[in-house]
Amino acid sequence: RSHAYMSQRLCEPAAWFDGFFGDPRALEETPVGTFIRMRNAVEWDQSEGWSYGLRVRANIELPRVSDRVRLLVSRDEDLSGELRDGPGTADRDDRTRLGLRFIASEQARSQLDFDGTIRISSGALNPRVRARYRYVHGLTRHTLVRATQSVFWERADGFGTTSRLDWEWLPDRDRLIRWTGEGTVSEGSDGVDWNTSVTAFRQLDLRTAVRSEIGTFGYTSPQFDVEEYFVAVRLRRQFARPWLFYEIQPERAWPLDLDTGRRGADWRLTFTLEIQFENERSRERRRLRYFGEDAEELPGGLMLEPIPVEAPGEAGIDPVLDHEEEDDDDDADDDSDESAPDSGHD
């Protein structure tokens, strides 16, 4: 019961925003069914000029193998835990990976999974294996913490580990505030590669949402340096078809020039067109999850409305907490009755 409350009231809205914005974090959760994203981005950087990128991400069910096994198409940052997926982390090299994920354990508050991937590129292959454990703990009715620990090995960087902590506040189902802090240590790095950010999500309507982010990242060795500060705002909207989205993201960044030690100030702008693919079985399961018992009573036309991946259900009510509150109210009433003077006559 407590898990149902946490899932519906806190976790699912957070997953809605991550899924709606195509955030790499959405791949960490186990999506319902098969889902594929294709993102075409045109990026302008005041220092670097124009660039174009095509990125594909997928999490595909393999029911003939096992319900616990998924086929992954991801990127290096998805598996290493990098927070950003924009111009500040754009790479000239293809960092796409193909592999499998095995979900070893999926409990009410925790999940343990294992990944095995290889980088898909024209150069040498870079295999990677990783074990990850995630634990979620609700603090109040509107806040939770999410701790994630990963241990990995890859040919390029050797052994390493990543620790991440998220704090999420959901004032209502249209808004989410998240703080994230993360650090990675590996044989390929001298110290800790770290990053932290505060992200605010706001759902404007069923088709539109805004994501604002302020953050920084850097390293601790050979000396502590902040590699970049940044502020970004992203508007995302579904249009024309339920599977078609566009994004506009202006950004202001203050990167550190590693050669001169001076900090610059750059404007950046990103235009993104995203196409989503999903099998009918997956969409039907998400539709039922999103609309709940009212799904079968909805007119057919409404079924064409966009249902973002991992869309939240109705606001959940925790039977355990509510029952405890009712008991407290009853106890308070009993106490007041006992303390009230007896107005009756013998």
Instruction: Please report, for the chain, the start and end positions of each structural domain, with discontinuous segments joined by +.
Output: 2-337
In 191-305, alpha helices (H): 280-291
Q: Are 55 and 96 in contact (CB under 8 A)?
A: yes
Residues 11-68 pLDDT 10s = 556 666 666 665 656 555 555 567 788 899 999 999 999 999 888 888 887 877 777 8
Q: Are 237 and 246 in contact (CB under 8 A)?
A: yes
Tokens 């999410």, residue?
146
Which comes out higher in pLDDT, residue 190 or 226?
226
Residues 174-185 pLDDT 10s = 889 999 999 999
Which comes out higher in pLDDT, residue 95 or 281?
95
Range with lowest mean pLDDT among 156-170, 185-199, 227-241, 267-281 = 267-281
H/E stretch holding 18: helix 12-20
Name the pTM for this structure: 0.73
2-337, what's its fold? Porin (2.40.160)
Assess whether pLDDT exceeds 50 at residue 87. Answer: no
Tokens 């186990």, residue?
30
CB environment 139-151: b (16+ within 10 A), e (fewer): eeeeebebebebe
| Residue 258 to residue 323: CA distance in whole angstroms | 59
| Residue 209 to residue 248: CA distance in whole angstroms | 11
pLDDT tier for residue 282 given thresholds of 50, 70 and 90:
low
Cα–Cα distance list, 179 to 134, 146, 166, 196, 257 (Å)? 16, 10, 6, 8, 27
Range with lowest mean pLDDT among 190-194, 214-218, 325-329 = 325-329
- Kindly give the pairing relationship between strand 193-205 and strand 208-219: antiparallel
pLDDT tier for residue 141 given thresholds of 50, 70 and 90:
confident
- Kindly give the pairing relationship between strand 110-119 and strand 244-255: unpaired
Residues 6+ apart with CB under 8 A from 33: 61, 278, 279, 281, 282, 283, 285, 286
Residues 298-324 pLDDT 10s = 444 444 444 443 333 333 333 323 333
**What tokens does 317 get?**
């009510």
pLDDT of residue 14: 61
